[in-house]
Amino acid sequence: MKGAFRTKHFQSERFTSKFSLSLVVLCTLYSGTALAMMKLNVKCPKKFLGTVTKVEKSEAPFFSKGAIGHLSKVQVYFKNDETVRGDVDQNVTIQTLRNGPTKFQEGNQYEVEMRENYICSAKRLGQDEPESH
């Protein structure tokens, strides 16, 4: 008797319409994520190969200690060796977190994708693995 009730419940029009609506909402949410992944290159319009000429730490007294110190920023200065995409100046300055995923070192060459003065991704050339995504 209980089995018959469950089968009848799942075949009801009311349940089917709620299930269909839930399925549509779920698919819509996931499609937004897929579109965002496809538009990654549009959001990072500039890409270049550059050599780091200088890394300048910006220390503020209230940022230097404790957990907030991890949010300190650095200015990374590049000489643009080759423009891959977009309009990139000959000398580029990028601002990033000092303790972020990419540790820039003077003299090393990187492949950098950016928007304005912020990094989308950076990969040190001569390495197999990217340093950040």
**Residue 38: per-residue pLDDT:** 46
CA distance linking residue 116 with residue 120, whole number of Å: 10
CB-count exposure of residue 62 (10 Å: 0-12, 13-18, 19+) = exposed
**Residue 63: per-residue pLDDT:** 53
**Residue 5: per-residue pLDDT:** 53
DSSP alpha helix (H) spans, 1-133? 2-11, 13-38, 40-43
> For 71-102, what is each residue's pLDDT tens digit?
688 899 999 999 999 999 999 999 888 888 88
Calculate the alpha carbon distances from 80 to 1, 9, 64, 109 in Å: 76, 66, 31, 10
**Residue 73: per-residue pLDDT:** 87
Q: What is the pLDDT along the chain (133 residues), one digit of tens a residue?
A: 555 555 555 566 766 677 677 766 666 665 554 444 444 445 899 999 999 999 998 765 555 555 555 668 889 999 999 999 999 999 999 988 888 888 999 999 999 999 887 889 999 998 654 455 4
pTM, entire model:
0.58
For residue 95, which of 114, 67, 68 has the smallest C-alpha distance? 114
Q: Rounded to the nearest 5 degrees, what angle is found at the Cα of 33, between the Cα atoms of 125 and 123?
A: 5
**Residue 62: per-residue pLDDT:** 56
